[in-house]
Structure 1
Amino acid sequence: MRRYIGTQALNQPLSDVGNALHVGSRFVQTCFQTMLEEELNAQGTLEDETSDLPSPRFLGIDEFARRKGHVYDTILCDLEHSKMLEVSDGRTLEAVCRLLGRLKDPHAVEAVSMDMSTSFRPAVQQCLPHA
Structure 2
Amino acid sequence: MPVRWRAQQRDALKVMAIPAYQLKQLHSAESDADKTQAATTLRYHYRLGPFYLTAAEPLPVQLPRWLEDCCVLLDCRPVAVKAASDSAMVWDYQQCQQQLSSAAGKREFWHNIRQHITQQ
Same fold (TM over 0.5): no
Which structure's residues are more often helix, by fraction?
Answer: 2
Q: TM-score, normalised by structure 1?
A: 0.23
Which structure's residues are more often strand, by fraction?
Answer: 1
Q: TM-score, normalised by structure 2?
A: 0.24
